[in-house]
Structure 1
Amino acid sequence: MSSSRLLSAEVAPVVISPELLQRYDVAGPRYTSYPTADRFVEAFGEVDYVQTLEQRRAGVGTKMYPLSLYVHIPFCESLCYYCACNKIITKHHERGAEYLRYLTREVELNIAHLGTGQTVSQLHLGGGSPTFLSDLELQDLMAMLRRHFVFTPGGEYSIEVDPRTVTPERLGLLAKLGFNRLSFGVQDFEPAVQKAVHRIQPAAQVFDLVAASRELGFESINVDLIYGLPMQSPETFERTLAQVVKLRPDRIALYAYAHLPERFKPQRRIHAQDLPPATSKLAMLASAMRVLMAAGYVYVGMDHFALATDALAIAKRQGRLHRNFQGYSTQPDCDLLALGVSSIGRVGSTFSQNVKTLEAYYDLLEQGRLPVERGLAMSRDDLVRQSVIMALMCQGHVLFESIELAHLIEFKPYFAQELEALSHMQTQGLVAVDSTGIQVTELGWFFVRGVAMVFDKYLQTDRNRARFSKII
C-alpha cells in the first residue's frame, strides 16, 4: 500500500462535493500529538520531566535522534483579534531582554539533566512574534543556543516572521544567524479584512519581503492564510488566492478560523455578524483547493500545501513525512525540547508543557526549578494508537503487520470497533481497507483528520470535553 503517488503534481485536482465538505464540517484535533494536549494532567510535573531528560541522557527507552528545539517568544506589539496563541501585547521592548535571561536559565537547567553536546537538527522560533526581539537580542539568543547545543549542517532552522516587524536588512541578519526557513503571517490581503482583524500590512510589503528572502537564499518560505475571517467572502478570498499564487511561496498553511470568544478574549472584538456563514467558508476552502492545486501545489495534508519541488512535498511522495508540534516535517521523529512560557515538548514517551504566565515562569526559574506545569506519560494503548494516527496523518496508510510487530498486538481484534467505523468512510471513497492495511485515498487526504479521529480513544469516551478547530 504505497501512498507515494497520491496528490503528486501530475494528478488532476480532486473534485470534492459540497455534500462531503458539509458532512465533515466538524471539529477535531490537529494531531500534532497523540494524546492531544487537552489530555495533559498536572499530576505530571517537574520530577517526571527531569526523569525523562535523564533517561535520554542515559539512552534508556529513548530514540537517540538529534533533538528538535522549540522556543516560544510571547511578545507582540499589537493585538490581532483572531489570535488564539499565548501572547503578551506590549510596546516595551526591554521586556525581551529580561525574558531571554530567564530563557537562558531554563536552557541551563535542561542541560544539567540532559547533558552537554546534544545535537540539534531542528529549531523553530514561534510566538507571539519572535521578530519582536531586537537584532542584538536575536543574536544573543542564537549564540546562547549554540553554546549549549550542537547544530547539525543541513538542519531545518525556522522562524515565524511578522511582516510588519522586519525589513530586508533584518532578513539578512536572520540568514546570517543560521535560519534557513521563514514563515510569514499573511492571513488575508484584503484591506477590509485586515482592518476587521486589526492587522494592517499592505500586499506590496509582503511581496518585497518574499523577494528579498529569495535573494538571500532561504530554502523554504511559508505563508499562513486564514479563511472564515470577518468581512471575508468567497469573492474577496479568490482575490487573496490570486495574489498568493503570484507570490508563489514554497509552502502555504491554510487554516479555518474558529470563533471562540468565550475562550480567547481578543476574539470578543470580532462581531459575529461580520463573519461569513458556514456555506461561504466551505466555498472558500473548495476554492483554495482548486486554485492552489491548479497552480502546481501539492496537498500535503491537513491544511498544508507545498510546491512539488519543496522538501515537504518530496518527503510526502517518498513516504518520509513526520509530524510534531510544529506541524509536518521532513525530519525523523525527534525528541522535542520546548523552551519558554507555555511551550509544549516531547521527550521519549512523555509530553510536558510549561506554565502559561510570565509571573509563574520567572518565579519557578528564580527558585532553580524547571517551569513544567503539566504533562503526560503515555500508556501502552496511547503508543499503539499514536503509531496508527501518525501513520495515517503522515504516510496516508497503515500496514497491519508493521503495527503488530512494533507493539505485539493483533490489529484486527484490537481495533475491531474502529475498523467497523471505517466502513462508512470506505463507502464514501475516503479509505480503502483490505487484509493488509488501511489506505487513505486521494480524496480522503482532504479529510485525514476525520480518518484519524476514528482511532482516538479519548474522543470515543468523551466527545464533548475538548473544543477543536474544524477538520477541513
Structure 2
Amino acid sequence: MSTSLIQKYNVPGPRYTSYPTVPYWEEQTFNLDHWKSALKRAFQESNQNEGISLYIHLPFCESLCTFCGCHKKVTKRHELEQPYIEAVLKEWDLYCELLNEKPQIKEIHLGGGTPTFFSVEHLQQLIKGILSKADVADQHEFSFEGHPNNTTKAHLQALYDLGFRRVSFGVQDYNLAVQKAIHRVQPFENVENVTNWAREIGYDSISHDLVFGLPFQSLEDVLYTIEKTKSLAPDRLAFYSYAHVPWIKGNGQRGFKDHDVPKDHVKRKLYEEGKKRLLEYGYHEIGMDHFALEQDAMFQSFKQGKLHRNFMGYTASKTKVMIGLGISSIGDNWYSFSQNEKNLEDYYARLENDEIPVFRGHVLSSEDLIIRQHILNLMCTFKTSWQDQALYFPQIAEVLMQLEEMQNDGLLQIKGQELTITEQGIPFVRNICMAFDLRLKRKIPSTQIFSMTI
C-alpha cells in the first residue's frame, strides 16, 4: 500500500459496530419505553424464526491492560462475583417478563472485562439461570472470551458442558517488552495450554486475538507472534489495529508515550506484512481485521454472504434481537439501540427498583435503517447495491460523488447501481463506510472522538 494513500485516508473514523454510531445517538428523544416497545416488536417478528442473541458483560479484571478500550472494573475482590451474577439474572428475569413468551436463544457471548475472572461455579450458575427460562436453538453458537493466564481446564469443560463451542483467547503480542508496556504479560506456554485444552475437550472454533500498532512493537514482533500462532493453528484470528484513544480512556492508555506507538505507514506495514503472512498460512480475510481457515463457520458464512456485524463484532449468523445484560452492555433490536448503566452502583440500584437498567439509547429513523444496511453490506460482504428501491436514499448521488476519488485511487468500483470494494480497498473499508454516514457528514466532530482508520 502506498504511503500517499495512507497519508490521504488516515483520518479519525468509526469502526461501525452500529449505525448510527454511539456519539450520534439521539439520546434526548429516547426513553426506556421506546426500547421496550421496539424490543417487543422485533421479538415477535423473529423469536421463532431466528431466535435472539445475548451479550453478557462480565466486567471484572484483576489487573489493568493499558491497550484495552473495554469497560471494566479492576479488582481482586472475588466476593463481588455472586452479587453481580444475581443482578444479571434479575435483569434477565425482567426481560423475560417483558417479552411474555419463552425466548429461543441462538447466540450467547460472554465478554468483558475478564469472563474467566469468575469461578467455574458462578459461570455455571449464570448460564443455567439464563437457560432455565429459555429454549436453545438447534444451530446455536455460545462463545466466550478467555484470558490465557486464568482460564482453567475446568472453565473450558464446564462451559463446553453447557453448550459453548467457541472460545477466543486474547494474545496481542508475544514480545515481552510489548507485553510489559501494555501490562499484559502472558507466556506463550499459557496460550498453548488453553488452546490445547479447548481442542482436547472438543471446541469447534478456537480464536486468537492479535493486535498490531502496540507501543514498542516492531515488524519482527508481529511476524514472530504470527509464527507462534501458526504453531497452534487457531481456527480463526482477529488481527486488530490498536486504537490509541487516551483522551477517552485517560490513564488506562498512558503507560507509555505517544511517540512509542507506531503510526501511519510504519503501523500500516505491520498490518500489510502480517496479513501477507496469514494468507500464506491458509487464513482468509473475512471482513475488517478478521481471518479464518476454510473449515471455520465464520469463513463459510462469509462465502455464503451471511456474515453479520453488531456490537459483539462479526458473527456467523444474524439475529434481529440482541439483548445486552450487565453493566455498560448494549442491546440492539434493529429498530433501536440501548445501553445499560456503566456504574456498578447505578446498575444495582435500578435493578433493586425492578427497572431494566437502560440509561441511554437511540430509535432508528427510516433513513437510519437504510444507511445501516448499506454499512452492514460493506463491512460484511465488501459490496452494496441500491438497485432495490428499499435501499435507495435521496443522498446517494452525493455519496457517489464523494466516492469518486476513492474509485480513481483503485479502492472501489461502481458499476450501475452497485459498489464493490477492491482487494486494495479492503483496508480502507471504514473510510468507504464514512461516505455513507449521513449523520457524520451533517455534524463533523469538533474534537477527535474516533480512532484513526489506518
TM-score, normalised to structure 2, is: 0.95
- For 1:244-259, what aligned pairs fall within 5 Å after superposition? 244-259=229-244
Pick from 246, 249, 254 the counterpart of residue 268 of structure 1: 254
- For 1:341-420, what aligned pairs fall within 5 Å after superposition? 341-402=327-388, 404=389, 406-407=390-391, 409=392, 413-420=394-401
1:125-149 deviations in Å (ceiling 9; x for gaps): 0000011111100110010110122
1:66-96 deviations in Å (ceiling 9; x for gaps): 1011000010111111121110011111101
Counterparts of 1:292 and 1:18 in 2: how far apart (Å)?
22
Does 1:460 pair with 2:445? no
Name the counterpart of 1:80: 65
Counterparts of 2:195 and 2:74 in 1: how far apart (Å)?
26
1:393-437 deviations in Å (ceiling 9; x for gaps): 1122222222x1x35x4x5x5411001111111111111111131
- Give the counterpart letter for 1:47 in structure 2: D
1:178-213 deviations in Å (ceiling 9; x for gaps): 110001011111111111111111011101211121
Name the counterpart of 1:12: none
Contact 2:320–2:334, Cα closer than 8 Å, also in 1: no
Identity %: 40
Contact 2:42–2:321, Cα closer than 8 Å, also in 1: no
Name the counterpart of 1:285: 271
Post-superposition shift, 1:290?
1.1
- Give the counterpart letter for 1:440 in structure 2: I
Counterparts of 1:251 and 1:305 in 2: how far apart (Å)?
6
Counterparts of 2:268 and 2:424 in 1: how far apart (Å)?
16
1:85-122 deviations in Å (ceiling 9; x for gaps): 11001111110111011111111111111123111111
Does 1:126 pair with 2:111? yes
Does 1:30 pair with 2:2? no
Counterparts of 1:391 and 1:275 in 2: how far apart (Å)?
32
Pick from 136, 140, 165 the counterpart of residue 180 of structure 1: 165
Pick from 83, 90, 107 the counterpart of residue 105 of structure 1: 90
Counterparts of 2:35 and 2:77 in 1: how far apart (Å)?
33
Q: How many residues are paired up?
A: 451
Does 1:163 pair with 2:144? no
Counterparts of 2:369 and 2:78 in 1: how far apart (Å)?
43
Pick from 420, 429, 448 the counterpart of residue 429 of structure 2: 448
After superposition, the Cα gap between the structure-2 partners of 1:56 and 1:174, relative to the gap in structure 1 and judged at 3 Å, is same
Moved more, 66-75 or 265-274: 265-274
Contact 2:212–2:270, Cα closer than 8 Å, also in 1: yes
Contact 1:62–1:348, Cα closer than 8 Å, also in 2: no
Pick from 50, 54, 57 the counterpart of residue 65 of structure 1: 50
Contact 1:42–1:373, Cα closer than 8 Å, also in 2: no
- Give the counterpart letter for 2:330 in structure 1: I
1:25-55 deviations in Å (ceiling 9; x for gaps): 2221111111112222433222222222333
Does 1:422 pair with 2:403? yes
Structure 2: unaligned runs, 5 residues or longer: none
After superposition, the Cα gap between the structure-2 partners of 1:401 and 1:305, relative to the gap in structure 1 and judged at 3 Å, is same
After superposition, the Cα gap between the structure-2 partners of 1:262 and 1:449, relative to the gap in structure 1 and judged at 3 Å, is closer
Contact 1:256–1:470, Cα closer than 8 Å, also in 2: no
Post-superposition shift, 1:273?
3.9
Moved more, 257-266 or 379-388: 257-266
1:355-393 deviations in Å (ceiling 9; x for gaps): 110011001111111111110111111111111111111
- Give the counterpart letter for 1:180 in structure 2: R
Name the counterpart of 1:7: none
Name the counterpart of 1:210: 195
Contact 1:73–1:340, Cα closer than 8 Å, also in 2: yes
Moved more, 68-77 or 223-232: 223-232
Counterparts of 2:291 and 2:89 in 1: how far apart (Å)?
35
Does 1:434 pair with 2:434? no
TM-score, normalised to structure 1, is: 0.91
1:300-328 deviations in Å (ceiling 9; x for gaps): 12111111221111221221211111111
Contact 1:70–1:123, Cα closer than 8 Å, also in 2: yes
Counterparts of 1:348 and 1:18 in 2: how far apart (Å)?
39
- Give the counterpart letter for 1:238 in structure 2: L
- Give the counterpart letter for 2:198 in structure 1: S
SS across alignment from 2:223: helix
Counterparts of 1:336 and 1:252 in 2: how far apart (Å)?
23
Post-superposition shift, 1:262?
2.6
Post-superposition shift, 1:233?
1.3
Post-superposition shift, 1:257?
1.7
Contact 2:308–2:314, Cα closer than 8 Å, also in 1: yes
Structure 1: unaligned runs, 5 residues or longer: 1-15
SS across alignment from 2:436: coil
SS across alignment from 2:376: helix
- Give the counterpart letter for 2:331 in structure 1: G
Contact 2:47–2:103, Cα closer than 8 Å, also in 1: no
